[in-house]
Every structure is written in structure tokens, then in C-alpha cells.
Structure 1
């Protein structure tokens, strides 16, 4: 028998859905879409698709594959490096809380009233971290790599000839739903009945 209320069961499943959405959106490189040599290019916070590279003869070619930057310092913007860390930590924290909540659906007394409040505070932190990372990401649109794909018109918080793609929205939605779940957590645990002693 579960130790969660009806709201608690709803909280557990919505928390897991939000954490998965934010994590998938974070991992996928389809945040910003531009064009280079008539080829769609995509930029995420730490991954990219169809990126330019110099070949052995020194001419520019488009590598048509998705991959992450070789090292953390290769991420073309300090803002994207900060976003990578904040969203990564936020997604990890959201996933930890949601998996604990899912366990509480099957195992009694994992989520007590105190644990539910702590989980809510941690979910609030996770949602804020994901939201901060999503908010900081557009500050990196002034990097040379992005400008090449956005008609040399992009700058911080202005994407020029580029458009936002589905991964950006999925991550933002996951962070927003995680914030909502932090409120639901306060009503997740069934109240424990304390015995009354008759004298």
C-alpha cells in the first residue's frame, strides 16, 4: 500500500515526466536552427548537428552528423558552458527526486511529510536551475559559430536568421513543470495518525 495521497501519486508521475522531458531536451542538440551552405545546422548547449569544419585542403565543409563538443572549453560561449552546468545539475536533481517519488508509489513510508517538503524545496531548486540555464542560453548567440549559421545577424538574445527548435521548448517546459511539482509535493504524503493516550 502506498504512503502517498492521490495528489502524491499524481505528483510522482508528473515529476518523472517533467524530469525526463527536461533531460531529453537538454541532451538533444535541436535548440537553435540555422543554415549553412543550404544545410540545416542545429546548436544545443553542449551538442551540435551539421557543423562546419576545415578539410585537409583548407576548404570549409559541412560535417553532416550530430555530436558533442570535444572538450568543455570547446563549447563556443561562456553562457553555453554555464547553461550546460546549471541545466545538467537541475536535470540530475529533478530525476533523483522523481525516481524517489515513483518508489514511494510502491513502497510505504518513503515520503513522510518532512521528506515531501524537502523534496519540494529540491524540486524548486531544480526547476530554477533549469530555468536559469534556459534563460542564459540566448546570451551565447553572439558567438562566431552561431553568427555564421544565422546570417551574421545574431547577437545576445537576438537570433537573427535562426529559429528556436523543439529541444529548447521541451527543456523549458520540463523546468516549468518541475517548479509546479514543487508545490504539489507539500500535499504528497498521507498524514500519520498519532495514537492518543487515554488516562
Structure 2
């Protein structure tokens, strides 16, 4: 017989698992990992002498894991919009154009995102099925979320290791080196990824609480009473 069991802990775990997956995917897809130094519209390199330049003529490019945003030459109103596109054509690109550390980081993030997606699906399934291959679905999912968090940590460490590449020095300055961004600053996507990584470990902790709550005496009591839909606060 199928039982639908919902507790505060299991519901919170499911919702945060969904949110964690979305945070990590959104951050990896975003080009806002690094915010470049101010540039004049249309120039390929950093515009150093910005004194007396109309602020409307300046913008800050952004660089992500595999994409970037810049602005084109002035033409009617084109300069008011960012032009975002990927700069990656394949994993075989030279290290100077697509750092090997970023390739590894992107790989770890992709694997981590897949694992988080799996945990998200199983968290939804846990409402009506508490076992997976003979094991507690909460325990298995929590373990997977922990591993995904570790992979994301590796990605977060590897990303700044590639700051010495040409793609970064072009927007951040010639002094940019691994773990030193020179004139750039960290964008919201980097912090969003950190948040998602921390939440993956928090979700792993919640999975234990969710397992305990769905196996509590109150739940078992309502199962014995023959209820199919069980909601326990």
C-alpha cells in the first residue's frame, strides 16, 4: 500500500533541495562571476584614462565560467544593451583562452548539478516512497548532496586558479594572476554558487531529520490506523 507522508522536516528538505539545485545551475550558467574594470564602449582592452569621460560611455564587462558580457561599438542605441555570448568553442581550446582549471571546474560543477538534480527528484519521490534499492531514500539522497557539495567546493577553488589566463587579463588588467583578480571584482554569481554549495550540506543534514520525522512514533501510529495521507507537524 502506498502512503503519502509529509512532515515539516521532509517538506523543508524537499523545498531546499529544489532551491539548492536551482541556485547552483543559475550561478554556473551566469556570466557574472567576475566584474571587469571600467571600459569605454567598443574597446578591446581596459580603458585606463577615464578622467573626463562621459559615464554613459563606460561599462563594466563580466566574465563567467564559459561566457561573457560586453558592449558593441556605439550605433544608435546598441551601447545601452549588454551583448552576452559564450567564448568557449570546445574543451580543446588553449589554456590561455579557456583555462584548464576552468575546464575542470566546469566538469565538477556539471557532475555536482546532476547529483543535486537526482537528490531533488528523490526528495519529491520520498513523499510516497521512503526506500531506494533497499536503503533509506533520505540517507542516499543526503549522501549524494554531500558529495555534490564537495565537488562544488573543488569548482570554487579551481575557478580563481585560472585568473592568470588571457581571457581574464583582458578585462581585469595585466597584473591578474591565479587567485589575484587585479582590477576586477567578484560578481553575484560567485556568491550565489557559494550559497548553493553551503545549502547542499545543509540539505544533507536535513535529510537525516526528514528520515527521523517520517519514521517517528506519530507516523507509525497513523499508518496503523489505516491512513494513506499522513501529515505530521
Cα–Cα, structure 1 residues 111 and 48, in superposed 2: closer, same or farther, change >3 Å?
A: farther
**SS at the partner of 1:152?**
coil
- TM-score, scaled relative to structure 2: 0.71
Deviations 1:48-72 (A, max 9, x none): 22289xxxxxxxxxxx521221222
1:23 partnered with 2:43: no
More helix by share: 1
- Runs (4 or more) in structure 1 with deviation over 3 Å come to 35-39, 110-113
Higher alpha-carbon Rg: 2
Partner of 2:90: 71
Aligned residue among 206, 218, 222 for 1:184 = 206
Contact 2:106 2:155 in 1 (8 A): yes
Equivalent pairs counted in the alignment come to 182
Correspondence list, 1:18-167, <5 A: 18-35=20-37, 36=39, 37=43, 38-50=58-70, 65-68=83-86, 69-74=88-93, 76-105=98-127, 108-111=128-131, 114-167=136-189
- TM-score, scaled relative to structure 1: 0.82
Contact 1:139 1:157 in 2 (8 A): yes
Rounded Cα–Cα distance in structure 1 between residues aligned with 2:70 and 2:131:
46
Stretches of structure 1 that go unaligned for 5 or more consecutive residues are: 53-63, 195-199
Post-superposition shift, 1:82?
Answer: 0.5
- Supply the RMSD in Å over aligned alpha carbons: 2.4
Stretches of structure 2 that go unaligned for 5 or more consecutive residues are: 44-57, 73-81, 222-233
